[in-house]
Chain A
């Protein structure tokens, strides 16, 4: 194991704290300030490496944590709308009309498509996908009429189903393993298909998804017609993967960090490195997904989290 001299550790800690200060005061919305970091670091008591080294490793992981605040989430949701929904439709309209640049024509055709589309969250009320609908509406300026619930679809509500509605777009914040969405494939998508066949296009657009989750969700694995993510998280985003983008660094080893995270993680969760071993370092202002290392968010056994999971 690479050992850290006092001097190296002091320099690293100083650099990490400086980064965390900048993040806390800017895009982390005041979260993870000095006292909170001290409280969180006190969880690590030297059970794996010496206490100071453990804390240096954990400070490093914290600097690599990707936190998305409200502004950033709105930007991601706008990207779902523009990149995944609007651009392809506009392209299709233009191509059908000899590459026209007549914005009057294009807008009118797009409006027709939009009016035939409904947006809904994946999951029930109070699930994070559904909770995103309000900020999504604010970020895009869409009217309330563009939004429905899954219940309205099942009930055959005319405003939510064909022939008026030709497209349902499900919105979600993260798909780490595809298990949740697969459940909904069975509970929601399959019944919709059974009822409406191919007369309705079903899309699943998510802010973040792992490569594995995307391939588990894309057709023909599920009944969705389109499955897209704004950010695809490949294996390099797994904290302790052989191709991890986080470790090793010049001074810090992957194996040591892994041991620390696993050992403490085991005391906190049946999934010590995040749900089904996703090993993510990711959180949102509205929640931290359980795909993220539990040492970041757990409150079990009097653990002091650095980011809260609701």
Chain B
């Protein structure tokens, strides 16, 4: 059985499939994002799986189909640009280095090579565009090839008269370079004749195209260079030079990973600036900011499923989205997750639920200390527990105990606290959670954490299920979503289920898939350098979040984010943070976090939801843990765990009975950010 999500990379799609699976990003046309006829160049930055390649490839193809009676050229005339898609890794740029030749020689060779490369790509594109148009073909024979040859320093030995001959000629020049480089280790000399000056072909051919072809005269030639991170520092300087000194009717769209752009410097040291020489589109940040991302994801999945023969009952998009969502079983949140939470403790009597037993033991552990909190005898403990219990609703019990811990940390009279909390909880239940109150606010903020703690108390792993959850996990990278769903489908088949054929995919199946996907992300998001250090840093951070989340009195709700003053960090720590962002293990948030004690705005970083699953952390951010520079250095910069363990111990001591060294409390954010 074919997996409808089996292909996760857009590179595995043919051109036809790129168009078929194209979905307009979040209600905005792709042209609005990429501005293909704008002559100012643009950098499109995005993590792996952000859809960057899909977007760039889309612009290399005709956006519309010709209408009846229209020829293919008219499509390009209407759209106003001709996209030429090139992957930088196809240049195999690493070969322009070493082999006993100096950097200057290689730069000259690389400039010449990439000029020939882009000229070929453009000529190939022109040829395929006009091949069905004899008139257009004829207009480009004769004078056009001759004019292109004039861009070379010397006329070639055989003058091409047709477009195809011209392509062969340039291909021949390129082959000379390839053979010379490949033979260099054998012959030990590099003999390459550079036949034209830098950029003459890149700018010259588009200009000649518009001069000699009436139908293509108004087009912008859009060089779409993908995977810029594969170019070296010097090679990127040449591209920057092209951008800065761009002339004529062409423009550049550069696709790169986060931190894939190594420099904005040109060959002579000028600096290109965003907004001046080029625009920047940060694609995954764009996705994450867009409320339509979920809708986009739904459309993407539906189109895949329909292409594989599923969901063929209707064309109504809203109905389809509902069917999609209902294809995944989720625990019902009705009545404060009553059914699910009771099933967790089905095998133990209500009064022996682990968290109640633990509280009893804690209250009775040190009478001398507890006296100060109003607990003097065993019957006091009984009374406290009686107030906090809510037998049908373990989640309410858990929240009650959390609120008691909060009062405990403030040294309040726990009997009075219990009475108050009990009353508030009963009121909350009676109103079915609809009446606003402090208790309702606490439930809103901490119920997810308390639910996770209940699962731990029941010794089961936290469950992540449902389409919404998967969308959140993907965090702006559509490929992540497809990968999760691919795994869900595989596990469903393995479990003997029939996914997308009526019965919902079980929570157990989804859980397996989520764990596997998260492991993959942790292992694959593994930069070539510093892989171990990054993973260690992420592991420490996530462990700290986890210990806080599962403590008796977590200081923040829904904790998966931290803030810190980046300028005070060591260079090594900063480099680690950059790498972690580059590989989408950490997500930096635009707005930052205002420090409570000063007017400083600190940088804020969220642990990728794909990784959060591995440590059973929340996917949505609310509270942020304010860390100082010393703490962040210990997490990301230190080779051994000693300092980190000290910090963890200090932090979590405040959150566990008897809540020593309470220090400064950080209140949870009152309003969720998404």
Contacts and interface: CB of A to CB of B under 8 A. Distances in A.
A303 B633 CA distance: 59
A296 B486 CA distance: 30
A34 B490 contact: no
A284 B512 CA distance: 29
Nearest to A34: B495
Interface of A is mostly: helix
B491 interface: yes
A14 B494 CA distance: 14
A21 B496 contact: no
B493 A35 contact: no
Nearest to B493: A25
Interface in A1-41: 6, 14, 17-18, 21, 24-25, 33-35
Interface in A184-217: none
A33 B495 contact: yes
Contacts of A35: 495-496
Residue of A17, A18, A34, A35 with most chain B CB atoms under a 10 A cut-off = A34
Nearest to A7: B459
Nearest to A18: B516
A17 B490 CA distance: 13
A21 B459 CA distance: 24
Classify chain A's interface size. 10 to 19
B490 A25 contact: yes
A204 to B, nearest CB: 39
Contacts of B494: 21, 24-25, 33-34
Nearest to B487: A21
A17 B493 CA distance: 14
A21 B492 CA distance: 10
Contacts of A6: 459
A224 B494 CA distance: 46
Contacts of B459: 6
B667 to A, nearest CB: 35
B494 to A, nearest CB: 4
B456 to A, nearest CB: 13
A6 B460 CA distance: 12
Main secondary structure of the interface of B (DSSP, over half): helix
Nearest to B3: A25
Interface string A61-103: 0000000000000000000000000000000000000000000
Contacts of B516: 18
Interface in B469-504: 490-491, 493-496
A100 B491 CA distance: 55
A33 B491 contact: no
B138 to A, nearest CB: 49
A18 B493 CA distance: 13
Nearest to B516: A18
Interface string B111-127: 00000000000000000
A206 B496 CA distance: 36
A307 to B, nearest CB: 16
Nearest to B515: A14
Contacts of A14: 515
A74 B491 CA distance: 28
Contacts of A21: 490-491, 494, 512
Contacts of A34: 494-496
A6 B459 CA distance: 10
Contacts of B512: 17-18, 21
A14 B511 CA distance: 12
A34 B491 CA distance: 9
Contacts of B491: 21
A17 B509 CA distance: 12
Nearest to B495: A34
A18 B513 CA distance: 10
A162 to B, nearest CB: 53
A30 to B, nearest CB: 8
A279 B55 CA distance: 56
Contacts of B490: 21, 25
Between B459, B494, B496, the greatest number of chain A beta carbons within 10 A of the residue's beta carbon is seen for B494
Nearest to A21: B494
A233 B521 CA distance: 38
A33 B491 CA distance: 10
Interface in A206-242: none
Interface string B346-383: 00000000000000000000000000000000000000
A35 B494 CA distance: 8
Nearest to B490: A25
A287 B491 CA distance: 27
Interface string B497-539: 0000000000000001001100000000000000000000000
Contacts of B495: 33-35
A33 B494 CA distance: 5
Nearest to A32: B494
A293 to B, nearest CB: 23
Contacts of A33: 493-496
A24 B459 CA distance: 29
A17 to B, nearest CB: 8
A24 B515 CA distance: 19
Contacts of B493: 25, 33
A195 B437 CA distance: 102
Contacts of A25: 490, 493-494
Nearest to B519: A18
Interface in A245-288: none
Interface in B454-474: 459
A89 B129 CA distance: 56
Contacts of A17: 512
A25 B1 CA distance: 9
Interface in B424-468: 459
A156 to B, nearest CB: 52
Interface in A150-189: none
A34 B493 CA distance: 9
B42 to A, nearest CB: 42
A168 B548 CA distance: 74
Nearest to A24: B494
A52 to B, nearest CB: 14
Nearest to B508: A34
Nearest to B497: A34
Interface in A31-62: 33-35
A35 B508 CA distance: 13
A14 B512 CA distance: 9
A19 to B, nearest CB: 11
A33 B495 CA distance: 6
A35 B515 CA distance: 20
Contacts of A18: 512, 516
Contacts of B496: 33-35
A24 B494 CA distance: 7
A14 B460 CA distance: 13
Interface string A96-138: 0000000000000000000000000000000000000000000
Interface of A: 6, 14, 17-18, 21, 24-25, 33-35
Given A25-B493, A34-B495, 4 more contacts: A6-B459, A14-B515, A17-B512, A21-B490
CB-CB nearest 9 A-B residue pairs? A34-B495, A35-B496, A21-B494, A34-B494, A33-B494, A33-B496, A25-B490, A24-B494, A34-B496
5 contacts: A21-B512, A33-B493, A34-B494, A34-B496, A35-B495
